[in-house]
Amino acid sequence: MKTIAILSGKGGTGKTTLAASLARLAGEKALADCDVEAPNLHILLQGKLLEKKEYRGAQTALIDEDLCRQCGLCREACRFQAISAGYQVIPFRCEGCGVCSLVCPHGAAHLETVKTGDTYVHETGEGLFSHALLDIGAEGSGKLVTEVRRIIQPYIQTEKLFFIDGSPGIGCVVIASLTGCDAAILVTEPTLSGKSDLLRVLDLADHFSIPAVVCINRFDVNLELTAEIEAYCRQARVPVLGKIPFDSRVVEGLRNYKTPLEMEGSTAAAAIRGFWENMQKYLQNEEEGE
């Protein structure tokens, strides 16, 4: 099975729309929404729930009232002002650093792992799909991304492709999405920030020796910048396998929980199909070159 990350240096480039469309076009595939802090693929991909699991991804301090002698040492040592005057932990301030448990001479402070969200596996019309939903105020992490990638594995049987819809940026959650992938699809747009963030995520893929291809979304809103991105990619020997035009039907479709492929007459849909054909040839060539 080939694992393909779909990434973008910045948010709002249309990465998830492309991921949902590829899920429709590709046969025998599974899909994981690893954009754990802002997941939305589950809005487009509905199906039968196969598994739901609590995710315990953070630590928080607890003070045992019976053991606490109110000496104040923990309060002095806590750099996040997370311990109240009454020696109770303020959950939203506690960073789980554990200093209070180290300085407490009476064993009254300790750390506990707490629930920060839930992970899910669904059987959808587009195949197996895993994602996570964080609780309010909880933070995403590379560990959670790894968990979303892991929970789907026992269900995978004949799937030949595994798409990972990653987070924007180049941080820990993106690295966890990219790790071990056979290829990365980098979705960008012709804006200055789109170009700058593409270069950063290209560097990241290069750092981990993961072959990357580029898809330029809404390429026709700034042809000059599109040409600059293409020139850069040519020079860096990164194939640009697709250019998707601006298409108001895409927004109209999303408003109705539909991908561009389900929107009759969508020019974006035709370009996405073209991109996927190129991507399949690319994967084939990569395989033959191995």
181 close to 165: Cβ distance less than 8 angstroms = no
Given 74, 138, 254, 263, the residue binding ligand SF4 (CB under 6 A): 74
97 binds ligand SF4 per the rule CB under 6 A: yes
CB of 36 to ligand SF4, least distance (A): 23
Given 47, 96, 142, 274, the residue binding ligand SF4 (CB under 6 A): 96
CB of 77 to ligand SF4, least distance (A): 6
70 binds ligand SF4 per the rule CB under 6 A: yes
62 binds ligand SF4 per the rule CB under 6 A: no
Name 248's Cβ contacts closer than 8 Å, sequence gap at least 6: none
Number of alpha helices (DSSP H) and beta strands (DSSP E) in the chain = 10, 9
Name 160's Cβ contacts closer than 8 Å, sequence gap at least 6: 1, 2, 27, 28, 29
CB of 145 to ligand SF4, least distance (A): 24
108 binds ligand SF4 per the rule CB under 6 A: yes
- Which strands form 47-63's sheet, in the order they lie side by side? 47-63, 109-124, 127-134, 29-33, 161-168, 2-8, 183-188, 212-217, 240-244
83 binds ligand SF4 per the rule CB under 6 A: yes
Of 89 and 269, which CB lies nearer to ligand SF4 in the complex structure? 89
User: Which 42-61 residues touch ligand SF4, going by CB under 6 A?
Assistant: 61
User: Which 197-226 residues touch ligand SF4, going by CB under 6 A?
Assistant: none
Among residues 70, 115, 114, 106, the alpha carbon closest in space to that of 88 is found at 70
* Sign of torsion over alpha carbons 203, 171, 213, 246: negative
CB of 115 to ligand SF4, least distance (A): 17
274 binds ligand SF4 per the rule CB under 6 A: no
- Applying CB under 6 A, the residues found at the interface with ligand SF4 are 61, 63, 68-74, 78, 80, 82-83, 87, 89, 94-100, 103-104, 106, 108-109
